[in-house]
Amino acid sequence: MTDTAIDTATDRTPLLAVEGLKTYLYLRRGVVKAIDGVDLHVHAGESLGIIGESGSGKTMTSLSIMRLLPQPGGRIVAGSIRLNGVDLLQLSERDMAANYRGRQISMISQDPLASLNPVFTIGDQVGAPFRYHGLAKDEADIRRSAIDVLRRLRIPSPERRLDDYPHQFSGGMRQRVVAAMAIACSPRLLIADEPTSALDVTIQAQMLDLLREIQHSAGLGLILITHDLGVAASVCHRIAVMYSGRIVETGDVREIYARPAHPYTQALLQSLPRLGEKKRRLYSIAGQPPSLLDRPRGCAFAARCAHRMPICDESPPPTVQAAPGQSAACWLLKS
């Protein structure tokens, strides 16, 4: 994707626009504010990386967009999720399942082995989206379509492997099968939740190449959820940094990596090993994220921040522009 193509895409209305999203989990011990006011957008042909520690709300954001929250406790209590101008939160479950989930918006889950049913063949499972959405005329057409999409994902001998079972595939191949199921119906938006976390480095690089190729050929919007800042830098145009259920910084990937504005983003980048530097102890962020059952009144990162000020404990920081196209929620930017 060229810079010109990206600029052209960002001039238009976003493919996905999430505004004021709040997702709570109602448990016996209390209400977990898993997502507490998230705003983000993705244009067609653009990739957005969502990064942050475990428990920051990355996966819950993607499940909210897909409307696949854990039940019975998960609820979206506020906000809007617009795909091509249609608010997904206003749709019935039947309409969402039939016309949007899998058709216009799809997801690659983190664990391919858990995503595949061990008692059904690969052909049955890759063919399921075509069968469910009525995109093939008969079983022979479903089989041909499944072979085509597996070939796109570089599965060798797809005609023969179609009758194999998930346990007969390697971890990297299973991840490609899950990706094939996600893109089977040519969605407009693809969410990839830690698609490389269970893969070794070589297979990881191949999977990232496939994601870039799929996005470039189809012009779809991509949300990449990852812990790995290197992976995000190699794939994404923009980055959204999440902490404690909120986005604390967002902007162009090159600007954020070169000049991070939020102390949390700075700390994440400092924890990366650097090629060519003398061996030293890696930096780690002191402390733990706050409990989402009892969120601090002020900035959620304050207790771990080296720049903590009295106002940080009193009220949540506003989101302000740190640079053109880059914003962060930090009181340091207001002082």
**Token pair recorded at residue 246:** 């909120």
DSSP 13-56: --SEEEEEEEEEEEETTEEEEEEEEEEEEE-TT-EEEEE--TTS
16-27 sheet: strands from edge to edge: 30-42, 16-27, 74-83, 86-87
- In degrees, rounded to 5, the angle at the alpha carbon of residue 42 between the alpha carbons of residues 133 and 241 is 120
Q: Burial level of 252, CB count in 10 A (0-12/13-18/19+)?
A: middle
Query: 246: phi > 0 → left, psi -120 to 50 → alpha, else beta; which?
Result: beta
In this prediction, residue 67 carries a pLDDT of: 96
pLDDT digits (tens, 9 = 90+) for 123-177: 999 999 999 998 888 999 999 999 999 998 889 999 999 999 999 998 888 989 9
pLDDT(203) > 70: yes
What is the DSSP secondary structure assignment for residue 249, as one 8-state letter? E
Q: pLDDT tens digits, residue range 258-287?
A: 999 999 999 999 887 777 666 667 778 888
| pLDDT at residue number 198 | 67
**CA-CA distance, 2 to 4, in Å (whole number)?**
5
Q: Please indicate whether residue 206 or residue 130 has the higher confidence score (pLDDT).
A: 130
**CA distances, 12 to each of 7, 45, 46, 106, 144 (Å):** 9, 11, 12, 22, 36
Hey, what amino acid is at 47? Answer: S
pTM over 0.85, yes/no: yes
Share the mean pLDDT of the chain.
89
* Structure confidence at residue 311 as a pLDDT band (50, 70, 90): very high
